[in-house]
Amino acid sequence: MNKDFVIQSTLQKGKNGDVQHLAIIMDGNRRWARRHGMAAHRGHFYGAKNIPDIVKAAVDRGIPCLTLFAFGAANMRRADDEREHLWRVARHFLPEVESTCLQAEVRLEFIGRLDRLPVELAAAV
């Protein structure tokens, strides 16, 4: 897993101190790409590439609930070509994420305004 990415997270702990919920805002990928001399859109690819490792790490640590915040209202205001790239990245990694979750016996659930996604991507999720 690439540890250079900016990860904003929130932990909710139970009474015994165990992590009950980890929420991660997947942000900073464009900035990461620029710092590494890449086109901004490449950062989205490298960020998404980490999702299976994040799922596996949460399972290995016994975290029962993991939330990955990937698309917000701000993403919808980006240029058409950048939004299209985000959708392509999501379609590319969705099968691997699904496989990782199935192997780890993790329920995969999508929440939010799925009606704002392209029809093909909305159908896939």
Q: Residue 100 in contact with residue 52, Cβ under 8 Å?
A: yes
Residue tagged active-site, from 29, 75, 80, 115:
75
Residue tagged active-site, from 27, 29, 60, 115:
27
Q: Is 50 a catalytic residue?
A: no
Q: Is 29 a catalytic residue?
A: no
User: Residue 26 in 3-state DSSP?
Assistant: strand
- Return d(Cα 68, Cα 84) in angstroms, integer: 20
Q: At what angle do helices 80-103 and 51-60 cross, to 10 degrees?
A: 30
Which of the residues are catalytic? 27, 75
